Amino acid sequence: MLAYIVRRSLYAIPILIGVNLLTFWLFFVVNSPDDMARMQLGVKHVTAEAIERWKDDQGYNKPLLYNAEASGGDKFINTIFFDKSVSLFMFDFGTADDGRDIGYDIQQRMWPSLMLAIPVFVIGLLVTITFALLMAFFRATYVDYAGVVLCVILMSISALFYIIGGQYLISKLMHLVPISGYDGGLSAFKFLILPVVIGIISGIGAGSRWYRTIFLEEVNKDYVRTARAKGLPERVVLFKHVLKNAMIPILTGVVVTIPLLFMGSLITESFFGIPGLGSYTIDAIRAQDFGIVRAMVFLGSVLYILGLLLTDLSYTLVDPRVRLS
């Protein structure tokens, strides 16, 4: 088991190197630092000195990959690639354009993101699976049909509309909760309740329909027929046998997303003014702060790979036949 984890972790290294090379290529090779400086400072009427000053401030005034002027190991260390990309492996994210430490900001903003993402994930999962089980229970009846149609309608609505509609209806017309904002401690509850509910509702459509197909695939298998032949009531068959056996396909899709909860939800956080990592990312994209975007890309891929590893481990928990070697 431990050997497996270590091996899988080592396997992550080439992938992370690949991610790093790709982002390096996107940010520094496709457009040279000079281009970025011109973009940041306004394209026209920009002097060469201003560009140099901007590059100095950002630490972009070094050669990209190979510094011929330096000596020894510095030939490779004293470069943009080493400064900006290799240092990510040490989780040293550098500073943002406004001089703040990115690593510190990420630590601070992680908590509001989790406060929002974890309830949405847990309650959402329970609600969608329950809904899907109900549809599977009433399969091939009008209840099932109506449920599927409802799911298709729910998933055809843009996430933006759930948020805008919810804010308008609940906050503006009914004045039940504040439209947006955030506060630490217990008072966070009143700010979080609406985004959590909206997050759950917007996930119901696609999620339930997907779980329903998984359950229906499982329902047609032989062991289900055996269970019914034994005289077990449909309720027991569905909730004990089918649900347990459907865990593998469900886990495949679900566990991988757990670490990514850290990244927060981009649009929900930004609409509701929650100071999490999602709104951090959006603000960085809008302000074209490449340092933050780079850090978030790296963090995101680390978490994704962690998710893949967790998925494999979770199989051993739900299915004793799976052995990792």
Partner 1 sequence: MRRYWRLIALLAAIGLGLWLVPVKVVVLWTDALIFLLVGVLTVFVIYMRGKPHLRAPWGQVIRRPLAAASLVVLCAYVVVGLLDSVHFRERLALQAGVENGAEQHYSVEVLSLLDLLTTPLRTRLEKTYSAPLAAQLYSKETVTLDDGSTARIYPRLDYGGVHLDDPASQRGADIAQRSLTALLLGLLAWAMLVAAWVVWLARRHGHGFRKEWRLILRGEAGLPWRSIFGTVGALILFIALALKLGIAYHLLGTDKVGNDVLYLSLKSIRTGLVIGTLTTLIMLPFAVLLGIMAGYFRGWVDDVIQYIYTTLSSIPGVLLIAAAILSVQVYIANNPDLFETVVERADLRLLFLCMILGITSWTGLCRLLRGETLKLREQEYIQAATAFGVSNFKIITRHILPNVMHIVLIAVVLDFSALVLAEAVLSYVGVGVDPSMISWGNMINSARLEMAREPVVWWSLIAAFCFMFLLVLAANLFSDAVRDAFDPRTGRG
Query: Which residues of the chain form contacts with partner 1 (CB under 8 A)?
Result: 14-15, 18-19, 22-23, 26-27, 30-31, 35-36, 38-39, 43, 139-140, 152-153, 155-161, 164, 167-168, 172, 213, 216-217, 260, 263, 266-267, 281-282, 285-286, 288, 290, 293-294, 296-297, 300-301, 304-305
| Of the candidates 161, 172, 173, the residue with the CA atom closest to the CA atom of residue 198 | 161
Least distance in Å: CB of 285 to partner 1?
Answer: 5
Long-range contacts of 235-241 (CB under 8 A, 24+ apart): 235/137, 238/133, 238/136, 238/137, 239/133
Closer by beta carbon to partner 1, 127 or else 285:
285
Least distance in Å: CB of 172 to partner 1?
Answer: 7
Q: Using CA of residue 250, residue 253, residue 257, residue 259, what is the dihedral sign?
A: positive
Spatial distance between the Cα atoms of 247 and 307, rounded to a whole number of angstroms: 16
CA atoms within 13 Å, Cβ hemisphere of 141: 7
- Residues 16/305, Cβ–Cβ less than 8 Å: yes
Closer by beta carbon to partner 1, 34 or else 78:
34
Closer by beta carbon to partner 1, 237 or else 309:
309
Least distance in Å: CB of 288 to partner 1?
Answer: 6
Closer by beta carbon to partner 1, 67 or else 250:
250
Closer by beta carbon to partner 1, 48 or else 140:
140
Closer by beta carbon to partner 1, 67 or else 102:
102
| Rounded CA Rg of the chain | 25
Least distance in Å: CB of 68 to partner 1?
Answer: 26
- Residues 32/290, Cβ–Cβ less than 8 Å: no
Q: Which amino acid is at 284?
A: A
